[in-house]
Structure 1
């Protein structure tokens, strides 16, 4: 599945037409799939496009009284921040000359009225899909440029390995672990943290994002498994003086092959949110976001042996609960939730 946008919201589609009936038809066609914004003139369309919240795509009529669609498109293309917004002409002008002019101006498609709703929906969905993938490719390319060799990056984005790139969007719970110095690690500490995160993530059923500087990042389908790993990591890597954040959200996951190995990484803003949650944690503790706490609070309060639970973030939108593992006893059963100890 291709994510809708890299910031995990519905694509925002602007429909521009001076006929109320056409606006009503398009709104009914798209409202369950996209965020639909309407404009009944070229001037109003430009105000929406040039706003702080521009659309991800524009469906643009040509024949309008104040400013025709061709002029609207020229102005959008002349403004650098909006120049790459995909535009589809949706118009009663059906001649080859008009279509050629629209495409030459940079429209990605040209649809004529009267419209076939099913065909319009199919074409728009195809372009949304292609645009979303292109944005994800751009974000992945920018991230991996800092981590892959130039040759490996070129093979992945310009060579045969490009066919291996895929994206999916799903709810994940992220673990973000950083040192008290906010990512200042020597080589030994960095290798130790990476090895411990890799081992524990595999043991607890998660995946590791190896492409993040100065921190350990893992992500899980099961939020409780992520918290169990966080508790065990705090205990086993106590000499690194870690702050750990756990956060749940809808994540964009990129998978690809590089150097004959299948790899994955997170793109988008959820990793940054997990890092902000980690920054609220005390050294040796785990800060849990409200989103994650809502999913695991029953397990925490039912099976909290071996950890200190403090609801100390009542005034924060980032974190709600702090968990601190107690020293491991020399023997005896450990909490099945806290996971303090290797089985």
Structure 2
């Protein structure tokens, strides 16, 4: 990856419009091209090829009366195929009878709109379903993650009680620090508690948020990459006995906030934590690997502030890490660490 490239953008939903009439495809493209990535299919068979591909759409706008395969049959096949069964489908058709609508809804359509279309109504309905579908997918992902960390009773209250309505998601660019200790499974309970306390203290000092719902590692996320790199340097110095491997990555994150046991909490969902972990896997013991997405944002800062590093290594053939830093171990007032003596 070229380090001069900007960080990734928010994912734009992909809408598949299926209609055998070119004028209708043109109309739908004009309505949604500024909001979504619009894909078109002139027949039911072409639509199924797209839906069953490795890059299925996030939603389908589907005509019913088409010559080769009608929309009802297209929807049946979408619902029968497990990987595509939950893709929301909206019928957009000239069939306006209650019987036709009932059949479409019984087959699993999320909405049924009739032609001639009201453009404003179509946009409103599609946007509402896009938001609802994205929220439902995030809730499901959050549920799977928290099932490993909350008690069964707390998890049940959160996802099947009144607390479900309080779950919120925010999508924004964050810089994620992933830190894991060598032989973490062999650490004593005292050392694990001391490490967790140090992470909390340094995160507060540098303006980061600790994700407490991650197994086997410390994950902290930041609005800005600079404080993240500085915290990583401080943590590596103060906990050098643990021989930490760290990875820093910047990307668009989904931040889930919720209430559990009367306490407000938050966690990251999506792929960004996993990407930071992959970056960490490229680092040597006691070092910090920085992804290209982060390095492009802090390159000048790092190049002017590496006097405290034993090693500054740049990678020119890796998509995961652009640079690897190994800070000089320091104790005392420079780091102001509460972690002194861990492992001794």
TM-score (normalised: structure 2)? 0.92
Q: Are positions 1:63 and 2:81 aligned together?
A: no
Query: Can you list the C-alpha shifts for 1:63-111, whole angstroms capped at 9, x where unaligned?
Result: 1111111111111112222111110000111122211111111100001
Q: Which runs of 5+ in 1 are unaligned?
A: 1-6, 335-339
Q: 1:314 to 1:93 in 2, by over 3 A?
A: same
Q: Which of 198, 206, 209 is matched with 1:207 structurally?
A: 209
Superposition map of 1:1-343 within 5 A: 9-181=11-183, 185-308=187-310, 310-328=312-330, 340-341=335-336
Of 182-191 and 90-99, deviating more is 182-191
Distance 1:184 1:92 in 2: 67
Distance 1:330 1:140 in 2: 40
**TM-superposed deviation, 1:116:** 1.7
Of 111-120 and 37-46, deviating more is 111-120
Q: 1:64 to 1:293 in 2, by over 3 A?
A: same
Distance 2:185 2:168 in 1: 29
Distance 1:183 1:249 in 2: 29
- Tell whether the 8 Å contact from 1:50 to 1:82 is kept in structure 2 after alignment: yes
The residue aligned with 2:4 is none
Distance 1:74 1:327 in 2: 63
Q: 1:113 to 1:150 in 2, by over 3 A?
A: same
Of 169-178 and 64-73, deviating more is 64-73
Distance 2:77 2:307 in 1: 64
The residue aligned with 2:342 is none
Of 286-295 and 26-35, deviating more is 26-35
- Tell whether the 8 Å contact from 1:183 to 1:213 is kept in structure 2 after alignment: no
Indicate the RMSD between aligned Cα atoms, in angstroms: 1.8
**TM-superposed deviation, 1:52:** 1.5
How many positions carry a matched residue from both structures? 330
- Tell whether the 8 Å contact from 1:309 to 1:321 is kept in structure 2 after alignment: no
Query: Can you list the C-alpha shifts for 1:14-50, whole angstroms capped at 9, x where unaligned?
Result: 1100011111111122122222111000111111111
Of 12-21 and 320-329, deviating more is 320-329
